[in-house]
Each structure stands twice: as C-alpha cells, then as structure tokens.
Amino acid sequence: MRRPRARSSPSTSSAGWSTRWPAARCSADESAAAAAARGQVCMQPHTIALKDPRSATTRPRPEGGNRMSSTAAQTERGARTEYGVAALGLGVTRALGGFIAGLRFEDLPPAVVHEARRGVLDWIGCALAASRHPTIRILLDTFEATGSPAVATVLGQGGQGGKRLGLLDAPVANGQMGHLLDFDDTHMGGVVLHTSSPLLAALLALAEHRPVSGRDLVTAYVAGFEAGVRAGQGAPAHHDGGWHLTGTLGAIAAGAGSARLLGLDATQVTHAIGIATTQAAGMQQNRGTMCKSFHAGKAAASGALAALLAARGFNSSDEILEGKRGFIRIYSTSSAPERITDGLGERFEIARNGYKPYACGIVLHPLIDAMIALHDSAGIPAAQVARVELQVHPHAVKITGVDDPKSGLMSKFSINHSASVAYLDGTAGIAQYSDARAGAADVLAFRPKIEVRTVETFRKDQAHATLVATDGRRFESPVAHASGTVDNSMSDAALERKFLGNATEALGEDRARAVAARVWTLDEAADIRDLLALCA
C-alpha cells in the first residue's frame, strides 16, 4: 500500500477496478444438463443468457394500475402467476441460486482463495477491536436476559471457554462487532458494501452447528460475496433511496453463503436467498448511531435463519430479486437485473474487495491520505494554518457531511473531523474517532478551517488537499487512489499489522499471532472450530 506524499499537482489517473477471472469448466464427459439434474450449474466462460422482457408480447395494463385479477392472469397463455401478477420469467434468482449450489472450492482461482483469507483475517481483527465497546455490552446483556441455548461463540469475550449465545443471537453480536468501528472491508465494484461483517458472522455461527472445513468456509464466503454484491449491482439506485446496503445486501449475502455452507441444493439456495431478501432492512438515518452496526448483525442472523429454514423446506418466491414485486423494483428506482448474472463464474466479486487503513467511512479515505501527507511534509503548526481547501467526489459530501459531530460514532462520517485529526495526529485510527477526540479542543479549533468543494469528474477514491498557511504559502497534496483500495491495495504484511493492532488487546499478542497463522492457512483446516476457540 503506497501512501502519497504531498506535491504540486493532482493526478488524473482513471484506472478502473475491474478484475476478471477464468471460469471453472465442467469435465469433458459431463454436460450442463447433467450438472443441472444434480441441482448445480456447470460454470462456462460466458454470460448466462436471460430472457429479455422486451421481446415478449406487450400486454395491456389492466384497470387499477399494477393490479391484475387472477382470472385475467390465467387467460394469458403459458404465464405463471405470483400473487395475481404474471411472472417475468427472467430466471435471475434461480440462476444465482443454481450457481451458488454448484460452486466448489476447486472452481476458485488461487487469487480468489487468497483474497478470502485476507477478508477473514481483516474481519476477525475488526470484530475483536470492538469486542469491549459499550454498545456490545448492551447487546450481550440483553441476549443473556432473554435467554437462548448457548451454542455459538461470541468473539473476544475471554474467560474459560469464552462466551456463547444462541445460534441466531451470536451472529447479531459478531456481525455488529465487525462493523461497529467502521474499520471493516469495503467492496469497490460499483456497490459500496461491507460484505464480510454480516456474511462471516453468519457462517461462523453455523460452523459450530455442524463441522465445517476451511475449504467449505472459503467456498461459502466467496458464494455469499457474489450474491450480496451482485444483488446490489442489479439495483443501481438502491443506496440513493436511503437504504443501508450492509443491512439489506448483507442479509442476501449471509443467506446465500449460509445456504452454501449447509450444502443446500439449487432450489433450496434460491429459497434461502428469497427468505433472506424479504428480511432485508437498514436505513441510512441511523448513520453515526449504535443502530448502524446493528444492521450488520441483524443481516447476519437473517441470513443464517434463511438457510436453516430453507433446509427444512421453507420456501420463497424464486423471482425475489427481479420479480414485479421483488427486491430490485421495491428497493431501487432503476433496475439492471442482467448485471446479477453478468460474468457469473468468470469474475469473482471478492477480488474487488478493499481494506481500510482508517476507522471511518471509506469515502473519507482519499482526503485522509492527502491530509496525512501534508502533516508529514508541510510541517506547519496547526495555529499557522489559515485554511485547508479540499476537493472531493460529491459522494463524500453526501455521505459524510456532518460538520460538527458530537460523538465518536458520528465523527466517522464527518469530513471536517477526519481532515482535522488526520492533520493534527498524522493518522486516523480507532483513537481518532473516540468520544474524547470528537470533543477535543484542538480538533474543535481546526474543523472550521476546512473548506470543501466537490468535483464531479473525480473518482470516489480521489481527493486533493491544499493547505494555506497564515504567511500565504500553499502546499498541495493530490491523491489518485486512496490507500487500501484495489488500485492501491494493502499488502499482506500491512493487513497483518492492522489485524495485530486490532486483536492484541482482546487476545494478547501470542494468541493474536496464532490466529493470524491459522487464517493464512485457512483452507487447510479440517474443522474451523479450532480457530473460533482461539478467537473466543
């Protein structure tokens, strides 16, 4: 990971984030039909063809808007009906369910397997760092008071054998811990999603429900990642509607990944996706509160429950994503269902995952890089800084435009706060987003010096900072790609340093290093419960 140094002119690099992998093929003596008969998908290097709804005969809209009587629907030759609405017949949800059911560890390119190891390591560290937060204490006390059979490990609670909660309670706690500090990973392929917190929290709880190997965990993790991200790609305006994607898409990811972990067939996986999707929830209004990370925990539990129900025959619509009353049409004002299956089996979305060096909203990271570079290079005392001129992508202001945050959690979504602590402290870690730092005198004095201008042509991972000293001198700091993004990725060594910094307080240095060693060889583990025991 390269940290830029301050210099005189901004970069205009426009490299994309796209990564493509070769598809896994069926064996030479096995046809796609044979694979389908087993409830699997034979992954070939082509895009799954979907029926184009525009090619169908246009039907007149019935009186009464979208309502269609069952009699009218039945008169349409060959049309399936769903709650009185003719089905679209695109097959998107079924195609995704079939792909996930058929995915095998052997289908995964080595780079994808390694990215899964990196994601697991980073998420465990983020969860452990938040394991003693007062928010988690409230949650655990509540679960203990309500009482469920204690069968699943809660990370980082210590004591003999650690702390255990119910099978659907532990995912809430672990999922919330993973996302609480806003330090967890972020997918950067058109959907800004913190996939690992809901997904891994669900998978690890179910791994104590039945023996699970490291290979099985990796496969389920990659499968869930595909489902959550691709569902978001099919609903391009989902975030614009005020939904918190980690809560909504996270439930879909957790449901699909959990279904794969339990070895469900294609129909059951499709139903698990539907059961999880119908529970999708989380509103951006809760940004900066305890509820934001609660979304991740509830998504984890929703996904685990969805898979357990589907395994017992509980069903759902098989068009939950693309249907006329489905996820895309209800949760987004624009739709692109074809994106859900585009490159399925060729391109793995986990390969476009990014890891945060700073404990705040990902859109703040470019400007933090710029301010740290000024801290390191300009050497101007805070009292001699007249102002800081920031240029950022409009999305940064939209998501993190809190001018005067009153708490540590709220400060994670403040441009003014993040720019201030980055310059004053030369970093933006967990300590910079505490309640104490949010109200510190030097930070409060520096925040009004921050001036922000949006630049439509900037990428989301781009920023430019200009420091103007009281004597008129100007110092420039451009950032083309923020640290930790796919185009300026965090090395394995840097990721392990981040993990050790996050995990050591909860586990001690020796156990933290032992956990890291286990995760780097995760796919060799016969039973991941040994890893969970180390994290307790």
Q: What is the pLDDT of residues 280-303, one digit of tens each?
A: 999 999 999 999 999 999 999 999
Same domain flag for 147 and 235: yes
Is residue 43 one of the residues assigned to a domain?
Answer: no
- What CATH number does the domain containing 351 carry? 1.10.4100.10
- Asked if residue 320 has pLDDT above 70, the reply is yes
Same domain flag for 266 and 378: no
Is residue 60 one of the residues assigned to a domain?
Answer: no
Structure tokens at 212: 């699970």
DSSP state of 283: B
Going 525 to 529 to 534 to 536, the CA torsion angle's sign is positive
Q: Could you say which of 439, 461, 482 is where a domain stops?
A: 482
Give mean pLDDT, residues 388-398.
95
Is residue 10 one of the residues assigned to a domain?
Answer: no
- What CATH number does the domain containing 449 carry? 3.30.1330.120
Same domain flag for 200 and 219: yes
Same domain flag for 153 and 217: yes
Element (H, E) at 13: none
What gap in Å lies between CA 53 and CA 376, rounded to an integer? Answer: 57
Among 7-21, 199-213, 289-303, 320-334, whose mean pLDDT is lowest? 7-21
Is residue 374 one of the residues assigned to a domain?
Answer: yes
Q: What is the pLDDT of residues 155-195, one digit of tens each?
A: 999 865 579 999 999 999 999 999 999 999 999 888 889 99
Residue 17: band (very low, low, confident or very high) from pLDDT cuts 50, 70, 90:
very low
- Asked if residue 51 has pLDDT above 70, the reply is no
Provide the percentage of residues in the chain whose pLDDT is more than 90.
Answer: 78
Same domain flag for 133 and 161: yes
Give mean pLDDT, residues 480-503.
97
Q: Under DSSP, is residue 384 helix (H, G, I), strand (E, B) or coil?
A: helix
Give mean pLDDT, residues 50-79.
36
Residue 1: band (very low, low, confident or very high) from pLDDT cuts 50, 70, 90:
low
pLDDT of residue 127: 98
Q: What is the pLDDT of residues 406-433, one digit of tens each?
A: 999 999 999 999 999 999 999 999 999 9
pLDDT of residue 169: 97
What gap in Å lies between CA 300 and CA 228, rounded to an integer? Answer: 12
Cβ-based neighbours of 73, under 8 Å, separated by 6 or more: 79, 81, 84, 85, 86
Same domain flag for 316 and 241: yes
What gap in Å lies between CA 196 and CA 175, rounded to an integer? Answer: 9
Provide the percentage of residues in the chain whose pLDDT is more than 70.
Answer: 83
Structure tokens at 181: 């500090």
Is residue 233 one of the residues assigned to a domain?
Answer: yes
Query: Among 177, 314, 328, which Cα is nearest to 255's?
Result: 314
Residue 13: band (very low, low, confident or very high) from pLDDT cuts 50, 70, 90:
very low
Give mean pLDDT, residues 375-386.
96
Same domain flag for 123 and 208: yes
pLDDT of residue 248: 98
What gap in Å lies between CA 90 and CA 80, rounded to an integer? Answer: 12
Query: Among 312, 205, 295, which Cα is nearest to 251's?
Result: 295
What gap in Å lies between CA 373 and CA 476, rounded to an integer? Answer: 9
Is residue 274 one of the residues assigned to a domain?
Answer: yes
pTM of the model: 0.84
Query: Among 482, 480, 510, 483, which Cα is nearest to 495's?
Result: 483
What gap in Å lies between CA 143 and CA 160, rounded to an integer? Answer: 19
Q: What is the pLDDT of residues 71-124, one digit of tens each?
A: 333 333 333 444 334 456 689 999 999 999 999 999 999 999 999 999 999 999
Per the structure, how many domains does the chain have?
2
CB atoms inside a 10 Å sphere around CB 65: 7
Q: What is the pLDDT of residues 441-476, one digit of tens each?
A: 999 999 999 999 999 999 999 999 999 999 999 999
Range of the domain at 511: 93-357+490-535
Same domain flag for 184 and 287: yes
Same domain flag for 416 and 468: yes
